[in-house]
Chain A
Amino acid sequence: MQTVTIKPKKEIKISVEAENISPDKFAGKSEKDIQSLEAYLGNHKTTLGELFSIKVEGRGAAADTKIVMEGNFSRVKRIGEGMSAGLIMIKGNVDMHLGTKMSGGKITLSGNADSWAGREMKGGELIIEGSAGYYLGAGYRGETCGMRGGKITVMGSALDFLGEHMCGGEIIVKGNAGILAGISNNGGKIVIEGNTSRPGSEMAKGTIIINGAVAEMMPVFKLEGTEAVDGVTYKKYTGDVIVGGKGVLYVK
């Protein structure tokens, strides 16, 4: 088992590109090696050791690596990018692109995540105890496939376009969601416990379940009657009919 503890040395005001903070990158490395991994502070190339105090206990493979991050990381981007195994526990807030393209392992975040968390995620689990920004589990600009697998859970709320171009996997939002959740999705499952508006336009495949109120429905869904899911009765809609979609939307 390898445990890496990371704390900011001082307040970070300029955004940091920290895709090297990942169990895959840290596994089996010494404190010195991890400190010398590259990071960008704005457009200035620096190292993780310059920005953070890093402590390492033990050695292990990626699957046995635990990264504990404490402090304010609200300007630190791309944490856990592409990770395939291991655990990242963050006590604080993070900037954009948390766990982007991750294929395995687990990230837990006690605070809030900015936009694009879990973008193009392929597997693993992402738990956000606070709230998420825009484009949670979405595809990047121009891509036709966003999240493909894995699971994202948000205890708070999420902003607009969550699960955009989603092709697989599962997103659960305990709070409210912004507009157009699951826009252009092509698979996967989205569950919103709170309120939202205009879910699922351009949806080709996939399932969206909304337990709260839907302020406004897009006029592109066909009401199929009612159906019970896990003992709860919903109105079942299919669509988006404009794109010949076979997506399913359950609304209370």
Chain B
Amino acid sequence: MELLIKNGAVFDPKNGIAGDKTDISIKDGKIVDKVSTKASVIDAGGRLVMPGGVDAHSHIAGAKVNVGRIMRPEDTRSGIKPRTKLTRPCTGYTVPNVYAMGYRYAQMGYTTVFEAAQAIMKARHTHEELEEIPIIDKGALTLFGSNWPTMDFVREKDMDKLAAYVAWGLLASRGFGVKVVNPGGGEMWGYGKNVSGLDDVVPNFDVTPRDIIISLMKVNEMLGLPHSLHLHCNNLGKPGNYRTTLATLELAKQVKPSKDRQVMHVTHIAFNAMGGTNWMDFESKADEIANFLNNSENITTDMGQVIFGSATSMTADGPWQYTLSKLVHGKWSNGDVELEDASGVVPVTYYRQAISHAAMWASGLELALLTKDPYKVLLTTDHPNGGPFVNYSEVIALLMSSKKRQEEIKTLPPVFNERTKLPGINRELDFNEIAIMTRAGSSKVLGLLETKGHLGAGADGDVAIYDIKPDQIDPSVEHVKIKSAFSSAAYTIKGGEVVVKDGQITATPMGRTFWVDASVPGEHTEVMMKDIRNKFKNYYSIGLANYMVQDAYLTHPKVVKAGVVPVEVS
């Protein structure tokens, strides 16, 4: 099957194409240099062409997403769309059903999305949902930060064993990368407590969040995993937490990357860039974080942009979710994954009138606008924590138009101007920078830039065409058009197949699930498994044989190989 996209104004940052009229050829699902005359042709007519969108952090599948659905029947009342001959029924806004996840991402021009957190023990559920999400390619990051074996091996300072455990954990969960959420905090929550910084000692394990982060960074690079450590910092959501965040970012200097990417990805930073001492004098300190990013290498972040309105907060950060539920007097669901994690789900509404919400809204934007290199800040809403992913077009419009930002600021409380730097920021991102934050950057952060996020030969045939002509539009003024174009793609092409035309689904192929098979020396695995078998014998409520996700749960797998490589530690 061949496809030729003609006359597109192409933005392909990886290959240095910024708005040039370039033809894109796709054959058998891959971008090629040339196709034959038999190829079907799409005339983009000067419209904006980008690689298919890539989201490196979104909660689209798994136990906590489903808890969100169960807790929020009221959410299911919105977004209802009956089935058609082609598509299955859709429901929900912050916690859509599985089908809507795939359709809505594809309708925005996104073709690859990574679920940001799965506990190994709950991974089977994640994959059951991933297998039902149509169209998009996906994968899931596996939680390692509060796992008992992790903390044991960190205390023993046995990096070989820890590497073997991470490799085995990725296999057990068919996971793509190492996610760490409030390291140590998940275990402390078992006792109704939390860690308050990098140097609190986790009882019974005698390790600190600092030890956990550094050790997992090291083994991540030892294993040469495609993605780096993916970190949800300690103290998330607490006023004054930007100091913890800055101290955490410093840790990245201690490990050198094994690949051309960061060693630490700090996620949804809007929730970690808070100044002040309480919710009354709360202010955004995103400028300090951006300043740090501008002067450092090897660290990337994503925005976790807050969207005013309904959201559902869901995270493995159990203690924070409890605090949040008390703050908003809302529903709260608590989860405990034995030996591995805590978790919680809390529905929230972000109000313009609440200065703390407005300042959080500002800090995501500030971070993106004050950080010079767009490769360092990806565009996310930490769906559905900051707001549902369907609002990416709103975020793009905000980033591209200072005028739109000023219009929004007018609707916020006057004290807003004292709590953030946003009103004074005039920078407006261009299409190339947006393409980096939503495509090339996220692919690079995930370690998938070879096949994702660009339009050079060899890349996956994932393309988005938007109904705007970059040379004829002033995004600063016409931000309404920008928003509407990015919310509904003129074409989304997935693996060379047109899956969306004029915002409507036209085909629903199944995407693949990426996971990483990392090899370690057999003797390391043997030593490690002795400990694991003991844990199962003594503590786990299920047997080891029932723990691993079987291949049957991944009917469209895409295995990425990795393995032990030497790592330089300075």
Contacts and interface: CB of A to CB of B under 8 A. Distances in A.
Interface of A: 140-144
A142 B73 CA distance: 5
Interface residues on B, range: under 10
Contacts of B77: 140
Most A Cβ at <10 Å: residue of B71, B73, B75? B73
B289 to A, nearest CB: 34
A144 B72 CA distance: 11
Contacts of A143: 74
Nearest to B77: A140
A140 B72 CA distance: 11
A19 to B, nearest CB: 14
A53 to B, nearest CB: 29
Most B Cβ at <10 Å: residue of A141, A142, A143, A144? A142
A140 B74 CA distance: 7
12 contacts: A140-B73, A140-B74, A140-B77, A141-B73, A141-B74, A142-B71, A142-B72, A142-B73, A142-B74, A142-B75, A143-B74, A144-B74
A37 B77 CA distance: 23
A93 B75 CA distance: 31
A28 B72 CA distance: 39
B7 to A, nearest CB: 43
A73 B542 CA distance: 54
Nearest to A204: B329
Given A140-B77, A142-B72, 10 more contacts: A140-B73, A140-B74, A141-B73, A141-B74, A142-B71, A142-B73, A142-B74, A142-B75, A143-B74, A144-B74
Contacts of A144: 74
Contacts of A141: 73-74
A77 to B, nearest CB: 16
Most A Cβ at <10 Å: residue of B73, B74, B75? B74
Interface in B397-438: none
Interface in B59-93: 71-75, 77
A142 B72 CA distance: 6
A55 to B, nearest CB: 32
Contacts of B74: 140-144
A143 B77 CA distance: 10
Contacts of A142: 71-75
A52 B72 CA distance: 37
Interface string B345-368: 000000000000000000000000
A223 B71 CA distance: 34
The 9 closest A-B pairs by CB, nearest first: A142-B74, A142-B73, A141-B73, A143-B74, A142-B72, A141-B74, A140-B74, A140-B77, A142-B75
A144 B74 CA distance: 9
A125 B73 CA distance: 28
A189 B71 CA distance: 28
A204 to B, nearest CB: 9
B83 to A, nearest CB: 12
Nearest to B71: A142
B486 to A, nearest CB: 31
Nearest to A139: B74
A197 to B, nearest CB: 26
A85 B338 CA distance: 57
A37 B72 CA distance: 32
Nearest to A143: B74
A145 to B, nearest CB: 10
A88 B72 CA distance: 33
A141 B73 CA distance: 6
A144 B328 CA distance: 13
A39 to B, nearest CB: 16
A138 to B, nearest CB: 13
A141 B77 CA distance: 10
B328 to A, nearest CB: 11
